[in-house]
Chain A
């Protein structure tokens, strides 16, 4: 879509957390934004509110902007003096106070300045569209819809979209495309009902869990151990989640729901204000933003102790891991040989109070979802997607029901004397989803009892769909190859955390020989995981090092280097398609790809120094070469060397794909996809474009590096960091080895080095470091705790 998009400039009204966050995400898409808020009298500027919001955006964690440059696309202003600036906006998003009168006042003002056909949308979280439009002209209604973002707008994938009967279909289509393609959102079309989909079910879920936890006499920790990970809910659990979003938010949402929900809604019957929680809010115990919540960190004893509140006495006490047998059933993690559903049922059927609690809160939540589904959504997959993308559930309610077995659940409801919803009766012994002819189908909400396809939007392609359609071309314990059609082969990592190991290297070799054998034209490296790859399996390295199997380590270094090099020089294009973390070896394989199509949320880095090593699979070689041959760098060899050294020695990880460009992890020829679901299709398109353009593999380059003199300079800089305390003793050892590699070892600027020369240097440095106890201690700490050891 790109330049042809009808939306080239956006206005955001209201610079609170949501408005400001939305403005930042629009800027991340490269679109200029006008951010307006009310005039703050007596401020340094009449636009102080928006200006301060922009400042907050630049420092907020996690970052709202994908790179510093993006923030310059946001222009702050105020709703009195700068209203005229909205005149050339194609889309104006209202994100002001959640009050109909306030919102309507803003709409009237906007309507007076907006150009014809400019689209206006509201970010309301609970108010139906029909209510918002009461009394407004038809011409406004034709251009109006609801676009409900989730917090934080950059990271939460859900966008709920509600169009009214008067809304122009072209307006809806334009916003849907823009949010999907440019903002990267998972757009779920909702019916115009209070709180739409995610908050309707999510609020019910949280309240049910909290209510049943108090009723069942569970502790905070026991509750979160059950109403969390076992069912694929966020692993914080509900109390942890409330601490995160703010405990004081609950009563507001409840009030709004009670004001707008239908009279016979189940929520009314079960909602009850908790005196305990009201008292917490009164005392400022509203969660992480306040003085504490259901959990807090207590530093009064000198060291920080994590505490939890006692749900009976209201006193804090040291955190106590749940001892309930039900919370140790494993739930969705399933014990070996058990399906996820069996493991979840084991929790629900546990005879202890944890098991009773689990059944109560989960059965109520699923019952509610079953009852309201036809009112709030056009299909079941919309509801599941909303809960996944908006509340970070691993499975939506209907996917959960399928895991548990709808018939089992219906029997459980009946046994309790609870009503069995029509939808559950209708699906009978079947499931809500099924695979028919290799395609995913869902149970229809139209009452026909039939199934309809789970449709993907044009340009979206999920590896999961490819997998459903047929068997892999090849597969081993850590990787698989899939046929994406049109002659494109896909290499998928399947190991734990997508860590790279020997089996993946073998599959790289196999992929090359398959494509070379002319069964395919191009290779894409992609997966559906949360993270592209966290790097090489350092557990294997540590184990081999512990038993002194040095030759095995050297062989695996060599094989990785050669396999990646073979990718680079293969006679066909190789396109990497990362999303999430691409660290260490995961970054190195991308550095060897002919092109990269990166998801915007890609975090790339050569982080080996964190575990006391240097990149040993060609990462040093590739980054050093990129900086040495970078045409934009100022004269001399040293600045490039200094850049690559700085990037690797500080284990710098890009905060976005945008930033990866600045670090040369990505080249100007590499592209970025905003929507995760479009990544694979875009990568495939890019690969085919390279084929069509008559792909020829790159020529091997020889580079010149400055050698010992430059190493001395880098060593001196590191000595300075050591003296100031910024570097640890082992940092100095690791940095010295890294400097040797990046400056080219025993060379000088008049000589030229081949790739093999640099690879040899990488191996030598790696092997020297892996023999040091300090490096082994770092690897061990990383594996044991996930944190770096600063030794």
Chain B
């Protein structure tokens, strides 16, 4: 079993010291989210993860899911774990109290999610989809539909999925063929529609954890215009209510996939054969509801990248302390034994610090984004809510793609630190690599995220979304320009930030002339954006830590606390010197333009 401890101290740092999350209690609905309550809930989840989820992770991976004549069984222990999860009230953490939820802020939910994903990604997947469905229904469904479905999702009696993909319609959802025909039947959910078609790659499409599963499904009405503007959103239960009983509704699981990772999460083919469902939102405007779902889901996938990196980082540090091989290049560091722990080797330290600097930085970026979503959804100040929404729109593709691309790199580094043992199943780190690989693909491949960033988010409202990120950074850099203590952090960030500004302007101009330029620049641009974001947050974290270490700030702090802040500053330094320079290569690559990609003859591939 992998060693992992929920990073509660760092979470507290991000939540209360870096961001003023305490101020969230001023927003309606969050009045109760005091620091005590928040830390209690986080601590409770840490215990649940440690006691229930983590022990199931490796066995679940090895056993996988079982499919037999339409019935899907999750690995041993999963149903019991889900029962505990549900009884612990974890299914409705962010849901509003009127539905029986706890109404906690998103920033808290992402931190809880991180712990769950670090402990058992397959399990976390199933519950996260239900949260996404909740939010899509909450935003777009009629009151009748909400009454019918939402409370059961919130209390976890039912689970949910999102059914988008069809064999011919993956990234391009405009190609969806699933058919919906209106019926004359009207019940407590409104008019019933008859849906026919087949969906693939449905996570949690069928399982034995809940009594029923609710599918959010994209389909086409008979008079739908072609393409993406003719897609409608439906909610279809696996079993429908009739006379107080749940009866089959023409929804069956045709098969499950055999996959590289997240093996304990069933990935299903779901067939709808005249299944009865309800329209969510307006006809042909289904993508609107689906985007609400997907934005939440994309942020969640970004958290997965961070979570697996954190788990990898912790495992690698423990191994590097214990594994004795060779002597330090600069003379032996330990007296006993024949060898030093590999922790002494510069290249091992490089790997460990890379994992650490990424994980802590990504945690801060994730939390910032979630905090802005909280403002977007709950701030009574309209302008502030718009700022939050703009920010989340801009950063969601960055969080999703940057954090999963780097998450994958980090899990790989852990295997490298483990050496040959890392390649063996028993040590658990190879599972992290396999589990992480899908995060770069699902909920929109990372290439699609990069296109979303340059094609939609950059030009939106002539760059207004950008303002929500660029202005705070610029203001921080201006305010700290003369702060000598912070100069080693502010200087590199200012330089990288200027690259980001120039790249942003360049892409905007070039893509007007040739849209392929935006596509060619997109992934490098997204990574440049990611490194600058983390750089800015590391500079801010260094500032917070330095002030905690100042004569005034350090008063009354124990040894452990001082070590925490000292490590923060040191990690910030590492980030500036050893990771932020990557922004330069991404900048150079994207500014070279797309001609070397586009001029290569197709037939020569």
Cβ–Cβ contact B467 & A546, under 8 A: yes
- A542 within 8 A of partner (CB): yes
Provide 14 A-B residue pairs closer than 8 Å at the C-beta atoms, listed in order of the A residue. Answer: A325-B225, A543-B463, A543-B508, A544-B505, A547-B466, A547-B467, A547-B501, A547-B504, A548-B470, A548-B471, A548-B474, A550-B474, A780-B461, A780-B464
B residues less than 8 Å from A550 (CB atoms):
474
- B458-469 toward A: CB 8 Å interface, digit per residue (1/0)? 000111101100
Task: State how many angstroms separate the Cβ of A540 from the closest Cβ of chain B.
Answer: 9
- B473 within 8 A of partner (CB): yes
What's the dominant secondary structure at chain A's contact region? helix
- A401 within 8 A of partner (CB): no
Cβ–Cβ contact A543 & B505, under 8 A: yes
CA of A539 to CA of B459, assembled, Å: 10
- Contact partner of A548 (CB less than 8 A), chosen from B225, B462, B473, is B473
A residues less than 8 Å from B504 (CB atoms):
547
- Interface of chain A residues 759 through 791 with chain B (CB within 8 A): 773, 776, 779-780, 783-784
A residues less than 8 Å from B383 (CB atoms):
773
Known: A542-B463, A547-B463, A547-B470. 4 other contacts (CB 8 A): A543-B462, A545-B467, A546-B470, A548-B471
Task: State how many angstroms separate the Cβ of A611 from the closest Cβ of chain B.
Answer: 12
- Contact partner of B225 (CB less than 8 A), chosen from A323, A543, A780, is A323
Task: State how many angstroms separate the Cβ of A54 from the closest Cβ of chain B.
Answer: 47
CA of A783 to CA of B463, assembled, Å: 11
CA of A467 to CA of B504, assembled, Å: 37
B residues less than 8 Å from A783 (CB atoms):
461-462
Task: State how many angstroms separate the Cβ of A778 from the closest Cβ of chain B.
Answer: 12
- Contact partner of B501 (CB less than 8 A), chosen from A325, A549, A779, A780, is A549
Cβ–Cβ contact A546 & B466, under 8 A: yes
Cβ–Cβ contact A539 & B501, under 8 A: no
CA of A214 to CA of B471, assembled, Å: 55
CA of A779 to CA of B463, assembled, Å: 12
Cβ–Cβ contact B463 & A549, under 8 A: no
A residues less than 8 Å from B473 (CB atoms):
548
**A784 with B470, Cβ < 8 A, contacts A544-B505, A549-B505 known:** no
Cβ–Cβ contact A776 & B501, under 8 A: no
Q: Which residue of B lies closest to A328 (CB)?
A: B225
CA of A340 to CA of B105, assembled, Å: 54
- A547-566 toward B: CB 8 Å interface, digit per residue (1/0)? 11110100000000000000
- B355-385 toward A: CB 8 Å interface, digit per residue (1/0)? 0000000000000000000000000000100
Task: State how many angstroms separate the Cβ of B188 from the closest Cβ of chain A.
Answer: 30
CA of A336 to CA of B118, assembled, Å: 49
- Chain B residues in the interface with A (C-beta under 8 A): 225, 383, 461-464, 466-467, 470-471, 473-474, 501, 504-505, 508
CA of A508 to CA of B49, assembled, Å: 68
CA of A783 to CA of B460, assembled, Å: 11
A residues less than 8 Å from B505 (CB atoms):
543-544, 547, 549, 552
- A592-606 toward B: CB 8 Å interface, digit per residue (1/0)? 000000000000000
Q: Which residue of A lies closest to B503 (CB)?
A: A547
Cβ–Cβ contact A776 & B467, under 8 A: yes
CA of A779 to CA of B461, assembled, Å: 10
Cβ–Cβ contact A784 & B461, under 8 A: yes
- Interface of chain A residues 520 through 577 with chain B (CB within 8 A): 539, 542-550, 552
A residues less than 8 Å from B474 (CB atoms):
548, 550
Task: State how many angstroms separate the Cβ of B487 from the closest Cβ of chain A.
Answer: 20
Q: Which residue of A lies closest to B465 (CB)?
A: A546
B residues less than 8 Å from A552 (CB atoms):
505
Number of interface residues of A (CB under 8 A): 19
List of 8 A-B pairs having minimum Cβ-Cβ separation, nearest first: A546-B463, A548-B474, A546-B467, A543-B463, A548-B470, A542-B462, A547-B470, A546-B466
- A615-638 toward B: CB 8 Å interface, digit per residue (1/0)? 000000000000000000000000
Q: Which residue of B lies closest to A779 (CB)?
A: B462
Task: State how many angstroms separate the Cβ of A786 from the closest Cβ of chain B.
Answer: 13
Cβ–Cβ contact A780 & B466, under 8 A: no
Task: State how many angstroms separate the Cβ of B471 from the closest Cβ of chain A.
Answer: 6
CA of A544 to CA of B505, assembled, Å: 8
B residues less than 8 Å from A325 (CB atoms):
225
CA of A776 to CA of B464, assembled, Å: 9
CA of A780 to CA of B386, assembled, Å: 14
Task: State how many angstroms separate the Cβ of A325 from the closest Cβ of chain B.
Answer: 8
B residues less than 8 Å from A779 (CB atoms):
462
A residues less than 8 Å from B466 (CB atoms):
546-547
CA of A550 to CA of B504, assembled, Å: 14
Task: State how many angstroms separate the Cβ of A126 from the closest Cβ of chain B.
Answer: 45
A residues less than 8 Å from B467 (CB atoms):
545-547, 776
CA of A323 to CA of B461, assembled, Å: 25
Task: State how many angstroms separate the Cβ of A497 from the closest Cβ of chain B.
Answer: 15
A residues less than 8 Å from B462 (CB atoms):
539, 542-543, 546, 779-780, 783-784
Task: State how many angstroms separate the Cβ of B139 from the closest Cβ of chain A.
Answer: 23
Task: State how many angstroms separate the Cβ of B602 from the closest Cβ of chain A.
Answer: 19
CA of A548 to CA of B494, assembled, Å: 12
CA of A325 to CA of B227, assembled, Å: 12
Task: State how many angstroms separate the Cβ of B375 from the closest Cβ of chain A.
Answer: 15
Task: State how many angstroms separate the Cβ of B467 from the closest Cβ of chain A.
Answer: 4
Task: State how many angstroms separate the Cβ of B23 from the closest Cβ of chain A.
Answer: 20
Cβ–Cβ contact A546 & B501, under 8 A: no
CA of A277 to CA of B508, assembled, Å: 50
Q: Which residue of B lies closest to A552 (CB)?
A: B505
CA of A7 to CA of B466, assembled, Å: 63
- Interface of chain A residues 268 through 315 with chain B (CB within 8 A): none
Task: State how many angstroms separate the Cβ of A548 from the closest Cβ of chain B.
Answer: 4
- Interface of chain A residues 725 through 751 with chain B (CB within 8 A): none
Task: State how many angstroms separate the Cβ of A739 from the closest Cβ of chain B.
Answer: 27
A residues less than 8 Å from B463 (CB atoms):
542-543, 546-547
CA of A552 to CA of B501, assembled, Å: 11
CA of A542 to CA of B464, assembled, Å: 8
- Interface of chain A residues 232 through 270 with chain B (CB within 8 A): none
Q: Which residue of B lies closest to A538 (CB)?
A: B462
CA of A762 to CA of B249, assembled, Å: 71
CA of A98 to CA of B508, assembled, Å: 59
Task: State how many angstroms separate the Cβ of B499 from the closest Cβ of chain A.
Answer: 12
CA of A779 to CA of B462, assembled, Å: 9
B residues less than 8 Å from A784 (CB atoms):
461-462
Task: State how many angstroms separate the Cβ of B472 from the closest Cβ of chain A.
Answer: 10
A residues less than 8 Å from B464 (CB atoms):
546, 776, 780
- Interface of chain A residues 307 through 342 with chain B (CB within 8 A): 323, 325
CA of A67 to CA of B471, assembled, Å: 47
CA of A437 to CA of B471, assembled, Å: 57
Task: State how many angstroms separate the Cβ of B464 from the closest Cβ of chain A.
Answer: 6
CA of A543 to CA of B508, assembled, Å: 9
Residue from the set B466, B467, B473 with the largest chain A CB neighbour count within 10 Å: B467
Task: State how many angstroms separate the Cβ of A612 from the closest Cβ of chain B.
Answer: 14
Q: Which residue of A lies closest to B500 (CB)?
A: A547
Task: State how many angstroms separate the Cβ of B252 from the closest Cβ of chain A.
Answer: 35
CA of A475 to CA of B467, assembled, Å: 34
Task: State how many angstroms separate the Cβ of A504 from the closest Cβ of chain B.
Answer: 15
Q: Which residue of B lies closest to A776 (CB)?
A: B467
Q: Which residue of B lies closest to A550 (CB)?
A: B474
Q: Which residue of A lies closest to B473 (CB)?
A: A548
Q: Which residue of A lies closest to B508 (CB)?
A: A543
Q: Which residue of B lies closest to A324 (CB)?
A: B225
CA of A550 to CA of B463, assembled, Å: 15
CA of A542 to CA of B471, assembled, Å: 13
B residues less than 8 Å from A544 (CB atoms):
505
A residues less than 8 Å from B225 (CB atoms):
323, 325
Task: State how many angstroms separate the Cβ of A227 from the closest Cβ of chain B.
Answer: 22
Q: Which residue of A lies closest to B512 (CB)?
A: A477
Q: Which residue of B lies closest to A541 (CB)?
A: B462
CA of A325 to CA of B225, assembled, Å: 9
Residue from the set A545, A547, A549, A552 with the largest chain B CB neighbour count within 10 Å: A547
Task: State how many angstroms separate the Cβ of B206 from the closest Cβ of chain A.
Answer: 38
B residues less than 8 Å from A543 (CB atoms):
462-463, 505, 508
CA of A323 to CA of B224, assembled, Å: 11
